[in-house]
């Protein structure tokens, strides 16, 4: 099973930049999207149905903002929209698809770059998200949590750890949260398999950052520890250029 996570930073814009053609080439079983920035009635369903994908969308109430989706070749047993927490569900940040005893999540963690209020919102979300998925594991133990976490965990995950140490996304308290989250029974699949590989999933549109590869690794395919024996590979597709992010991939074999 090949699962890809991709923050497309506007799904309609990404479609215009060749996303369907790329998807036809890479052929994941499941594609988890973040920042779709559209309402369900604006989704170009025909484009993806032609490629064999059924789409499930969870959009933000605010138009042109946030939003997650799961595109899948196999029809899930169940789709769960949101986490049952209105403050977050209004922003369209979490959708889950169940396939037998495996659950795949597309999640879009908040950014704190716009100021203290949203940074506080982000920190509260991180605690609530962790509590939610730990509770969810009791009934759905095999979780694959794909998405944009908006956090670089370690210095290897960011191009300039010294100068970014006071920036949202690499703050000590965010990094400490991720350490605690992983210690609570989750795996960063890419880092587990490639402890020394320095690759990124996001580059600022400013300062020609992508051409200079001055990036951040903030998109992850996290899994429950129970998935570890089935983990075949995890990698980053940094040649995909439909967004300021690029896709991250996990392959499992059971």
Residues forming the active site? 148
**CA 79 to centroid of chain Cα atoms:** 17
- Calculate ∠ Cα 38-42-45, nearest 5°: 110
- Calculate ∠ Cα 98-103-106, nearest 5°: 100
User: Which of 76, 29, 78 is CA-nearest to residue 53?
Assistant: 29
Q: What is the dihedral of CA 235, 241, 244, 249, to 10 degrees?
A: -20
Spatial distance between the Cα atoms of 204 and 181, rounded to a whole number of angstroms = 26
Spatial distance between the Cα atoms of 144 and 219, rounded to a whole number of angstroms = 13
Burial profile 161-200: b = 16 or more Cβ within 10 angstroms, e = fewer: eeebeeebbbbeebbebbeebbeeebbbbbbeeeeeeebb
SS3 5: strand
Spatial distance between the Cα atoms of 101 and 143, rounded to a whole number of angstroms = 9
Any idea what DSSP says for residue 238?
T
User: Which of 144, 226, 150 is CA-nearest to residue 190?
Assistant: 144
* CB-CB contact of 8 with 19 (8 Å): yes
């Amino acid at each position: 099973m090949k699962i890809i996570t991709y923050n497309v930073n506007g799904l309609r814009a990404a479609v215009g930049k060749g996303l369907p053609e790329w998807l036809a080439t890479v052929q994941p079983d499941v594609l988890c999207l973040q920042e779709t920035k559209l309402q369900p009635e604006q989704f170009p369903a025909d484009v993806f149905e032609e490629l064999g994908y059924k789409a499930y969308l969870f959009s933000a109430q605010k138009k042109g903002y946030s939003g997650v989706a799961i595109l899948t070749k196999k029809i899930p047993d169940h789709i769960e929209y949101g986490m049952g927490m209105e403050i977050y569900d209004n922003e369209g940040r979490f959708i889950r698809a169940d396939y037998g005893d495996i659950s795949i999540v597309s999640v879009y963690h908040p950014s704190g770059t716009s100021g203290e209020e949203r940074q506080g919102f982000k920190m509260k979300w991180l605690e609530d998200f962790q509590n939610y998925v730990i509770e969810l594991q009791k009934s759905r133990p095999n979780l694959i949590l794909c998405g944009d976490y908006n956090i670089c965990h370690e210095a290897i995950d960011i191009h300039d750890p010294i100068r970014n140490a006071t920036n949202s996304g690499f703050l000590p308290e965010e990094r400490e949260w991720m350490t605690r989250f992983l210690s609570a029974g989750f795996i960063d699949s890419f880092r587990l398999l490639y402890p020394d590989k320095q690759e990124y999933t996001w580059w600022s549109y400013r300062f020609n950052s992508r051409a200079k590869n001055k990036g951040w690794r903030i998109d992850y395919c996290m899994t429950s520890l129970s998935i570890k024996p089935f983990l075949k590979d995890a990698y980053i597709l940094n040649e995909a250029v439909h967004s300021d992010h690029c896709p991250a991939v996990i392959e499992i074999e059971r």
